[in-house]
Structure 1
Amino acid sequence: MTTAPQAGASDPPRPATAHRTRFFDHRIPSLHAGRYEIHNGQLLRDTDGADRPLDGTPQPFDVIQPRFAIAPTAVNARYPVPDAVGTYSEVLPHINLDTPELPWARPLGDLGEHDESIPWMALFVFRPGELDEDLEAVGAVTVDTVRKLLAGEHGPGRPPDIDPKSLRPDECDENCVSIHVPAALFDRVKPLPTEMAYLAHVREGGKPDATRAGSSPEPDIDQLNAVVVANRFPDARGGLHVCHLVSLEGHDDALTEPAAEEGVRLVSLTSWTFETRPDDGTGFGDMVQRLATTDGVTPRRDLRLRVPVTEPANVTEPQREALDRVAGGATTLPQRLPTGERTIAFHRGPFTALKPQPLPDPGEGRVRLDSSGEALVYLEKYGVFDTSYAAAFTTGRTLALADADYRKALLEFRKAARFAVRRLASHPRLVGRAVSARQLTAPLAIESFDRMLLDDDGARLGRAVREAPAAMRAGRRRTTTRARRTTGDIGTLLADTSVRSLVREAAGDEFEGVRAWLDRLRLLEIATFDNLVPDTRMLPQESIRFFHVDPEWIRAAVDGALSVGVGHALDADLNSLAVDGGPVPECGVLVRSSLIPGWPTTIFTGLRAEVDVEPLRTADYGTDVRLVLYPRVIDRFEIAEPPRGICFGVGNVGTIELREIDGPRIGYPMGEFPADADFGAYLRDRETGVLNIGGSGTALLDGLDTAHGGVRLTSAQFALQMIQAPQVQSFTRL
């Protein structure tokens, strides 16, 4: 048996607003970083017609870009973030650089047709035990001068082959960071030159409405960043990992041939560490699949909020009655009758598995319940009760009695309303006139006396006092005929819409306090979870359930809350002023899952005819239950992974989301890839987790090209495919 969540509800956090993003293949500078000279000269023609050249003095200049280190301020973002702890075995780490042309600022050697687009840097990911100088993968490095690096004095490994003439005089004495990568490891994890071109791109970010479909504005230079992506997944077994953004300048031959036997000494431009937890198969995609399917493939057929019951083979008539009520969302509870007899009763909360039927008209003009006994439904044929509405009445009354502020506001509201309606009944001519609420509630006798004191500086009062004795001796007494008030008169008055509005206004803040509390009750904010789901079997662990909301149950709860402190018929009539209030939900969804604490900003969306329906209320109960109530019946419900910024990799169900690569729908999803959900086929080997983007065997580029109709993807289009998109699970009402 599962345990019920805590009764108290809380509002879940809201996700942040998304933003618009565009990708570009690269940003190659018009002049690469390096040392240059400007040569100028003049050509003079002698009188004899011969040309005489005059050479000017060469003017040297440098195009300076980072070469042996990148300042921390030049790094816009890293993912995973430094020192992060989480499940990252399905992401490709990446780094975002402020200078958009930096990865292409220096050319490598002769590497084939993609020379110009091949970056001179790459992002390497290392696991514990791989780097002999950093066996724990905590980011240990060697720090010394550039001069000693080029001289091979940083330690083992072949240093970069860089022409000393290309260095500025002050560069040799600068410090730099280096790491030693053994030859076998380097050859296993190094990207191919053509793959390097796909592992770097330029990203432009902007506001969500900055780009409209069909338009292609020029890139915003201030919003451009370079992105370098690793070609290796972190270890699914977990542990510390270290990322190094390395310079491959001077190592271009090692990219096309086996590395030197002593390994390579790489310049680490910047580095960071993170820890990934073991992948236990409980990612977001796995969790939502458990909600929607029985085995990851077979969809769950019945997701309505009700107790699961196995129907017997030969159903009798009494059994059919019981099964139908359970199918509607009821459960059975023991009941003791006032006579002492013990029996069972059907009971449910405000949520029903089937669309609720309206109750029959009670007749005699009655529209409200005065007691829980009136709400009992007796099944005479079987001698049992349905206590659902009686329980709703009692729930509303109990919640009202437990709230001292509500009780006080209710009594004050009735007191003010009684005063106003009795004055209207005593002076029928006031009905239909422009009478203010102040006039209905003010103490008129006291106000009249006050006016007599003030009129003519009290002369009016003095005159009345002087004339009163003579008038009394002469037998002249002023009398008034008071109108006779009856309950029927007051009931008739309250049927008038203008009178009802005037009396509500006369009740003032007290009435507003009562109405606000009742509106919360209509949205079930005050009800405990046990009131909503009376049997925990309706909502087992890792489940989602859909339901209708019974407006009659909520009406009975409101009647119960208004029954507090009713002393006579007039109080009951005045309750009718408060029964009209805010909206009542028509349907809702309950999710009980580890999704709630694990992904607290998960996006829940209800749709009707493909249009979003704004929920009336969203609340969390305990740590793992979320309730969403809608004002209309929805026909589709979606659960979407919360946005976390752009990162690259695969979903935890073993696929990536194919996306449109051109046209007005660029970036729109177009299905899962690969169809067999085995992304491991596109790794060089499953042990190292290195992506086979364009190498021999089953190359990812070839598979993506085929999926896009034979179109060869560019680096920007490849990045678009590799975005680890938030996963979405959809539930459709049949």
Structure 2
Amino acid sequence: MMSEHTKIVQCFLPPMVAGKYTTEVNQRILKENRSIQDIKKTFDFGVDAARFTLNPNDIYSVYPPANKSGSYSESLPHLVFTRRTLPWERTIDGLPPVFQRSTTPEEKRNTLDSPPVPWMALLLFDEDEMSQLQIEKNTLAAVIQSDTADGIIRPEIFGTQSAIKEEVLQLMEWEKSTDGCFTIDLTKEQFETHVPYMESLSLLAHAKEVSIENKDKEGITDLNADGNGVFSVIVGNRLPASGKQNTAIVVSLEGHTRYLADASPKANIPTDIKIRLVVLASWNFMDSGNASFSQLVNSVDIKPISIQRENEAIELRPYFDSGYVPLEHLTRTGASTISWYHGPFVPKLFPSTSKTVSFSSSDAALRYDKTTGFFDISFAAAWQLGRILGLQNQEFAKALLNWRLAQTQFTAGKTKEALLNTILEDNSTLYLKDKVIHYLGAIDKVETELATEKRFDEIVDVPTEVKRFLNNLYSVNGIPFSYLLPHEFLLQKEHHIKEDTYSGTLSLFYVDPNWIEALLDGALSIGRVANHDPLLEMTISGQFIEGYNTGSVVIDKEGEIYGRRLNTTGFLFRSDLVSGWRGLEIMAFDAQNKALNALRFERIDSDIFLGIFNGNIARIIIKQPYEGLHFGLKIDKGGYKKNIKNEDGTNQVIVDGTADVNRELNNGLLKNRILDVAGLAAVMHKKLVEKDWMDTTEKSAGKYFTSAEFAFQMVDSPVKKEILIEV
């Protein structure tokens, strides 16, 4: 266990690895306790898994970030998969894992004694090396064993029509030799130098169980019983080249068993021969400058969501400071003009009206600004957008019309009941003619009373489809981005604050309740005949959103109530942190240090994150994603440094060499930036045992040093940034 956020696991194995299997079914028919017939059936079947290509959706994130520049030379590259079992879903030799090859059911199976080896590896080459290499598009025919000798060692995988039937690794029936894949051909020296052997490979893959409460949930598909995300991770064995472009390549090692058993058999590769590897994924990055997660998160620029234009149009500053932008406006008559517009995200608190306002059309929501002579089309645009979205969603529109019909019938019944009661309760001695006149006079009175009553328990149950749609609009889901951010100046791009350092922009906003109300009113205008709409009032009061606190009263300086507002704030975060570190963790707190519930919390573009919260944000915490913590070494004065940790994860400040592996790293474990992973793990394990930082008793797992223990020692502490907001 690493922390309350993350649990590191050696591996998650599938029930059956990929391959061909045979099952045998025996049936014995008995009569009077005597066997009269034995029936035996044999069935062949195959278990499939990723092999020559990977589904892009299986890749959750990569580090260093693809196509980014930054300071990465102190961290090994890694790739995070969305599926916990992917690195172990097949084996290099096509046989079940060693620990599963028991001959009797009683034979003990232990993944610690025989660590599973991933069938893939992550290699790293710099730009000079890649000038001699090429990732090529190929077919499976160029990968599987062939009769021609062309100076290339291929994986020992055979076609389905191979004459060597006893070979384990063959194409499955559904795999065709014409299927496409990508390959790379390494020289003997490159293969021997860059590709880790078995003992190291088993340490370069692990899994993590991570809390996803404060993450964007998109792309997270594998959850455990506690609702935490489960990821698998493949780590490289080489540090990036400083000041150069680097290429990370994930390759399949299936079929190359004879060259991976340990370090020495690699010498058996003939000279002037190339080894063909299937490429599963690749990405480029530039190690240049000082930008890192720490540098980026500590340079975030905080600002309100408004146009920041210094020394320009000073007379328009009050409008810009309120979140308005001037936009071209084409009127219904075809005239072209300029109008003011602001979206639902505004830099200042806009109190809502004390009474719900319903418009008959979008034109009724237009406002005219006498100072500039421009129309304010904000609420008109919101109203029209709500109506368009409502009509576009047929499920909502039909459910709403059916509800209105049911509500009309319900109201008519209540009206009839009230009118009949007027006659039945009339015990006066009036003549029948006078009673009828009294009855007719009561119609308008009763209908008026029913129309103005706001008794929500007197309406027909609202359909789930209507609640869901209104809830989505209320949370600003499904709103086109141009309505949210009508101008690029509202969300500035990252900019240089000094050489090689970048600053992201965290734009804070309030949610304008009047804009949201106009949006909802437009959606609810479908089939509406009366001015009063109980659904609008119920939505605004938050009755369709579980656990949402709305309708708080706003009091001015004189102590008088001047309106109510939706208690909703948020931020738009644009940064390389969002695009480069998928799974970024962000938490928001109010002034009482209470964690705020998110109404909407997601990455809406590659580098833009949107958070909308129930309450007023006073503090934001940004954390590095735990599933993607870096395998780090420190470079100091041309040498490498790495402390080891005790069980609670603290680095020991001891300078006698017993709590670090600095000497070993600089004396042979790291050559040409390539790490001897197995050698480093052995040194770490030995020192941990010597310092009594691991329980090595027979009943303890401490006598083993698996990929989980290695990952625990190698990962850097997660970076955390706290941002205080002036409320």
TM-score (norm: length of structure 1): 0.48
Largest Rg, 1 or 2: 1
Between structures 1 and 2, the one with greater strand share: 2
TM-score (norm 2): 0.49
